[in-house]
Every structure is written in structure tokens, then in C-alpha cells.
Amino acid sequence: MGEQQILEIFQSYREVHQAFFQLMTKAASKHKLTALQFVVLKVLKEYPEIRLSDLAEQVKLGNSTTSGIVDRMVKAGLVDRERTETDRRAMTLTLSEKGAALWRETEATRLHMMRSLLELPEEDQRELHRIQQKVLHLLRKSREEG
């Protein structure tokens, strides 16, 4: 596989990633949310009282990035952010009343957004997952080796 092919894979990943992101952005905007706020809303619904670092882990983002996203949601009144009782370094995140209500309103939008994606055959999903893991492994190995 030559340099050209590698660059093409790199760009094809960015294309798919951005297409995904734009699809979610469009869906989220119906509720005056951003794509990541849409995702965070779901995580907070599933994991009440989650810590910021655990949320970051869930959404596969760095701490500082997640902190910013949460901060904007707190300012918008969607999330309550309080110091954790048992560890006063940490923050406990919970959906506010407004956030929980908004989550319920987004359900139809979520299903509608996913409609087309459901068409990807199970077989392809498995293959995609398998190769993704392989690629991730190679990339991480390469990164470690410097």
C-alpha cells in the first residue's frame, strides 16, 4: 500500500466522519442543540450522576474538550454540575428538568435520523468493525513506536 493509498484512506475516514457529524448536526439543530450535545444528552440519560472524566471516556473525547461541551450545556440550563460528595476534585453531572424534557422530545428525531443507516447489512457491520479495530491497532502501534 503506497503513500497515496494511505492518504486516501485518511481522507475517506474524514469524509465519513464529517458526513456522520453533519447528519447529527442537522438532526440536533431541530432542537437547538449541537451534534455532541445530542450525544451527551443520551449519555447523561443513561448514566445519571456521571463524572466528567467518565463522560469523556464514553464519548471518546479528551477531558478539556468535554469540559467545554458540558460548560455550554450548563449555561443553557440542560445539565446540573455539582462537586462530587465523596471526592471534591470531581464533578457530578446530571440532566436538569429542562434537559430531561428535551431528551424526551428528541426521540422521534433520533429514530428518523437513523432510518437510512439501518440499511447497512449485518455482514458489513461486522466486517467494518473488524477492520476498524485492525486499523486502530496499527495506528496506535505506529504512534507508540514514534
Give kind and range of the element (H or E) at residue 78. Answer: none
Tally of CB atoms within 10 A around 14: 10
Binding test (CB under 7 A) with DNA, winner from 68, 77, 120, 127: 68
Taking the C-alpha atoms of residue 28 and residue 103, their distance in angstroms, rounded to an integer, is: 11
Contact 44, 93 (CB under 8 A): yes
For position 104 contacting DNA by CB under 7 A, the verdict is no
In the 8-state DSSP scheme, what is residue 120?
Answer: S
For position 113 contacting a second copy by CB under 8 A, the verdict is yes
Binding test (CB under 7 A) with DNA, winner from 3, 88, 142, 144: 88
Taking the C-alpha atoms of residue 141 and residue 135, their distance in angstroms, rounded to an integer, is: 10
Exposed/middle/buried for residue 114 (C-beta within 10 Å: 0-12, 13-18, 19+) = exposed
Give the shortest CB-120-to-a second copy separation in angstroms.
6
Taking the C-alpha atoms of residue 98 and residue 67, their distance in angstroms, rounded to an integer, is: 20
Give the shortest CB-1-to-DNA separation in angstroms.
22
For position 18 contacting DNA by CB under 7 A, the verdict is yes
For position 5 contacting a second copy by CB under 8 A, the verdict is yes
Give kind and range of the element (H or E) at residue 28. Answer: helix 3-29
Binding test (CB under 7 A) with DNA, winner from 49, 87, 105, 127: 87
Q: Residue numbers of the site for a second copy (CB under 8 A)? A: 1, 3, 5-7, 9-20, 22-24, 26, 39, 42, 59-60, 110-111, 113-120, 122, 124-125, 127-129, 131-132, 134-136, 138-143, 145-146
Q: Residue numbers of the site for DNA (CB under 7 A)? A: 14, 18, 21-22, 34-37, 51-54, 61-65, 67-72, 81, 84, 87-91
